């Protein structure tokens, strides 16, 4: 096992480390100042030295440099709980193995000690490169251009003097820690999308504020796919933020139509520092040409400032011509002697607002703000319209797909149903001979009726599509409601018996014929009775009652009830 010298002025911390090492079979010894540590090193050789940076009197770095002079091969690991990057940098450059940041887990100290004991070099020069060598090929294989920095100070220098799209940042770095590096980048205005890497979740909890500012966090060991996903997400967020920034920084184009060059120049000089991009023309013809072919080659200006008098022409007459080139253009009329009649005429001809040249020129900013607020609303409306159009097209496509599916399914179901209905009808008519049993005849009749009913349901499904398209037609004819009721009762007889129910049928003797769609009427009654059977408790009695009321010429379905519990039963009446 190893002889370990612990140099720390915090006696409790030093003794706790010594206890851990002692339990693992190492031989720890303690020193509480740099001078005491040097005396011990002169008198004995240690396999490993754990040296605090902040010590009374001689600090840790001075102690380390003197220790390396006494014992050139001494293996020293610095430890600190403070941000003392200059001291740590000096120690690293002098040959220190690395730095442990307090508080650190005892297992990390043991791992470090084991690696130092089994190798000629230290944890910082072997373990970290192995980790980097593992992920660099992964990133290069994904077409990323990768550069590596082994300390926070080195990373800071590279980023400040280079151009990087993403930073993969270890939380625990020598010289300059991960949080300190990120804070330096933010302060310098060079923060890049950052994915934080750490070996322990306790570190993440301690840096919760930093975590909220990052693009992602990975815990070692992590899956390579998680690494690529985190970097891809960070770059996507960066691109989205850059796009929003570019949109926010896009100059607001303004077309100035003014035949007074001095006034126009003053407007340009006033607007440019406020983020506007004005361009000036002096005639109506040039204004129309500028709308067709903007000088900068981009989109035409959404806002135009138009002088009320353009030589022999009137500014209000230019507004309709500009609207031909860009229907959504917002026009502001400018005049030095604005009167009510001129303002009303301008507004009627399509002007959005007006500006009085005799007033404070800075009042134009408020006018332009209103104009570009409207431009933004127009853009939002266009975006909403486009989103609705796309949603409508998607819904129509889905509806067409549904209609095609229903047509296919109905065709596939109709084929066997034709055989069922056709052959059962032949058997009912005894075309090839007698059935020989009256019960068989009843069964065949039920098979035929059920098949015909299923065919009607398929037709109803197709009718649903027709109804959505506004093409549903009713096949009205005279029919006897008693026939429909008996047919429905036969279809539901087995279901009623299986549910332990006893149906009640009440048919008025003076029922007239009804005019309507017989198939749809039968479907309505079947749905009502099926619900009655479904929701009536065991032992109940769903009831169908059909009555005839003479004081009305209209036949409508009315709700009724079942005994012992509510049920969906139908009462036919004429009111």
CATH of the domain at 267: 3.40.50.2300
Per-residue pLDDT band at 100 (split at 50, 70, 90): low
Q: Which DSSP letter does residue 512 get?
A: P
Q: Is the pTM higher than 0.75?
A: no
Q: Do 262 and 238 belong to one domain? A: no
Q: Do 528 and 486 belong to one domain? A: yes
Beta strands per DSSP E along 282-327:
303-307, 309-310, 313-314
| Final residue belonging to a domain, choices 248, 281, 308 | 248
Per-residue pLDDT band at 31 (split at 50, 70, 90): very high
Q: Is 562 within a domain?
A: yes
State which H helix or E strand residue 101 sits in: strand 99-101
Q: Do 202 and 278 belong to one domain? A: no
Domain span at residue 148 reads: 125-248
Distance, CA of 49 to CA of 452 (rounded, Å): 94
Residues in CB range of 572: below 8 A, 6 or more apart: 481, 511, 514, 546, 547, 555, 557, 558
Percent of the chain with pLDDT over 90: 5
Q: Is 501 within a domain?
A: yes
CB 330 within 8 A of CB 303: yes
Q: Which DSSP letter does residue 272 get?
A: G
Q: What is the pLDDT of residue 255?
A: 92
Q: Do 149 and 257 belong to one domain? A: no
Q: What is the pLDDT of residue 40?
A: 92
Q: What is the pLDDT of residue 206?
A: 47
Q: Do 183 and 202 belong to one domain? A: yes
State which H helix or E strand residue 477 sits in: strand 476-479
| Final residue belonging to a domain, choices 473, 505, 535 | 473
Decide if pLDDT at 30 tops 90.
yes
Distances (CA, A) of 77 to 48, 73, 126, 278, 483: 8, 13, 14, 64, 99
Q: Do 231 and 269 belong to one domain? A: no
Nearest to 29 by CA among 2, 56, 53: 2
**Residue 501: exposed, middle, or buried by beta-carbon count in 10 A (0-12, 13-18, 19+)?**
buried
Q: Do 243 and 259 belong to one domain? A: no
Q: Do 136 and 244 belong to one domain? A: yes
Q: What is the pLDDT of residue 83?
A: 46
The residue to which tokens 């815990």 are assigned? 219
Q: What is the mean pLDDT of residues 321-350?
A: 82
Q: What is the pLDDT of residue 272?
A: 84
Q: Do 410 and 431 belong to one domain? A: yes
Decide if pLDDT at 381 tops 50.
yes
Nearest to 528 by CA among 566, 497, 563: 566
Distance, CA of 65 to CA of 67 (rounded, Å): 5
Per-residue pLDDT band at 187 (split at 50, 70, 90): low
pLDDT, tens digit, for every residue of 194-220?
777 776 554 544 444 455 455 666 666
Per-residue pLDDT band at 256 (split at 50, 70, 90): very high
pLDDT, tens digit, for every residue of 226-236?
767 777 776 77
pLDDT, tens digit, for every residue of 523-567?
888 888 888 888 888 888 888 888 877 665 444 444 333 443 333
Q: Is 267 within a domain?
A: yes
Q: Do 282 and 353 belong to one domain? A: yes
The tokens for 347 are: 């507004």
Q: Do 402 and 430 belong to one domain? A: yes
Q: What is the pLDDT of residue 153?
A: 73
pLDDT, tens digit, for every residue of 467-498?
666 666 778 899 888 888 888 888 888 888 88
**Residue 526: exposed, middle, or buried by beta-carbon count in 10 A (0-12, 13-18, 19+)?**
buried
Q: Is 366 within a domain?
A: no
Q: What is the pLDDT of residue 565?
A: 36
Nearest to 421 by CA among 471, 385, 388, 456: 456
Instruction: Please tell me which of 32-41, 177-186, 350-359 the model is most confident about, judged by mean pLDDT.
Output: 32-41
Strand partners, 6: 30, 50
Percent of the chain with pLDDT over 70: 73
Q: Is 61 within a domain?
A: yes
| Final residue belonging to a domain, choices 215, 248, 281 | 248
Domains in the chain, number: 5
Q: Is 60 within a domain?
A: yes
Decide if pLDDT at 433 tops 90.
no
Distance, CA of 132 to CA of 230 (rounded, Å): 17
Q: Is 367 within a domain?
A: no
Q: Do 312 and 333 belong to one domain? A: yes
Task: Report the CATH number that the domain containing residue 528 is assigned in CATH.
Answer: 3.30.565.10
For the chain, the C-alpha Rg in angstroms (whole number) is 44
Buried b (16+ CB within 10 A) or exposed e, 374-392: bbeeeeeeeeeeeeeeeee
CB 225 within 8 A of CB 160: no
What string of DSSP letters covers 45-63?
A: --SEEEEES--SSS-HHHH
Q: What is the pLDDT of residue 104?
A: 57
């Amino acid at each position: 096992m190893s002889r370990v010298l612990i140099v720390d002025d915090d006696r409790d911390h030093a003794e706790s480390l010594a206890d851990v090492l002692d339990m693992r079979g190492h031989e720890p010894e303690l020193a509480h100042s740099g001078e005491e540590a040097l005396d011990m090193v002169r008198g004995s050789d240690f396999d490993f030295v754990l040296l605090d940076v902040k010590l009374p009197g001689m600090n840790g770095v001075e102690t380390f440099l003197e220790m390396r002079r006494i014992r050139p091969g001494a293996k020293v690991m610095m430890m600190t709980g403070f941000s003392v990057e200059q001291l740590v940098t000096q120690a690293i450059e002098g040959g220190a193995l690395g730095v442990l940041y307090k508080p650190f887990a005892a297992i990390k100290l043991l791992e470090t000690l084991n690696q130092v004991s089994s190798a000629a070099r230290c944890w910082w020069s072997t373990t970290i490169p192995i980790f980097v060598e593992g992920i660099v090929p992964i990133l290069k294989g994904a077409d990323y251009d990768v550069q590596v920095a082994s300390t926070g100070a080195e990373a800071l220098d590279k980023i400040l003097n280079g151009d990087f799209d993403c930073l993969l940042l270890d939380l625990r770095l020598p010289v300059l820690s991960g949080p300190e590096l990120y804070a330096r980048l933010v302060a310098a205005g060079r923060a890049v999308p950052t994915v934080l890497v750490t070996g322990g979740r306790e570190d993440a909890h301690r840096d919760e504020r930093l975590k909220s500012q990052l693009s992602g966090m990975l815990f070692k060991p992590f899956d390579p796919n998680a690494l690529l996903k985190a970097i891809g997400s960070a770059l996507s967020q960066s691109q989205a933020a850059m796009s929003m920034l570019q949109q926010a920084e896009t100059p607001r184009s303004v077309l100035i139509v003014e035949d007074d060059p001095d006034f126009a120049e003053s407007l340009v000089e006033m607007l440019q520092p406020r983020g506007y991009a004005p361009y000036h023309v002096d005639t109506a013809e040039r204004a129309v040409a500028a709308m067709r072919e903007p000088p900068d080659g981009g989109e035409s200006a959404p806002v135009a400032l138009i002088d009320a008098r353009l030589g022999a022409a009137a500014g209000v007459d230019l507004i309709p011509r500009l609207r031909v080139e860009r229907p959504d253009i917002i026009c502001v009329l400018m005049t030095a002697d604005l009167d009510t009649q001129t303002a009303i005429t301008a507004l009627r001809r399509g002007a959005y607002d007006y500006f009085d040249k005799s007033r404070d020129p800075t009042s134009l900013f408020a006018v332009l703000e209103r104009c570009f607020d409207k431009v933004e609303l127009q853009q939002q409306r266009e975006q909403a319209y486009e989103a609705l159009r796309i949603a409508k097209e998607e819904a129509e496509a889905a509806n067409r797909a549904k209609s095609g599916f229903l047509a296919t399914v109905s065709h596939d179901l109709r084929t066997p149903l034709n055989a069922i209905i056709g052959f059962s009808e032949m058997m009912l008519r005894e075309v090839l001979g007698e059935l020989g049993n009256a019960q068989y005849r009843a069964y065949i009749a039920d098979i035929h009726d059920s098949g015909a009913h299923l065919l009607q349901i398929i037709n109803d499904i197709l009718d649903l599509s027709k109804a959505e398209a506004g093409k549903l037609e009713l096949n009205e004819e005279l029919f006897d409601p008693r026939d429909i009721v008996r047919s429905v009762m036969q279809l539901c007889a087995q279901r009623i018996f299986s549910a332990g129910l006893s149906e009640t049928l009440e048919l008025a003797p003076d029922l007239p014929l009804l005019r309507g769609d017989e198939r749809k009427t039968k479907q309505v009654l079947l749905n009502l009775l099926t619900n009655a059977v479904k929701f009536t408790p065991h032992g109940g009695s769903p009831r169908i009652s059909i009555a005839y009321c003479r004081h009305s010429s209209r036949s409508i379905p009315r709700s009724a009830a079942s005994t012992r519990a509510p049920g969906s039963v139908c009462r036919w009446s004429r009111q």
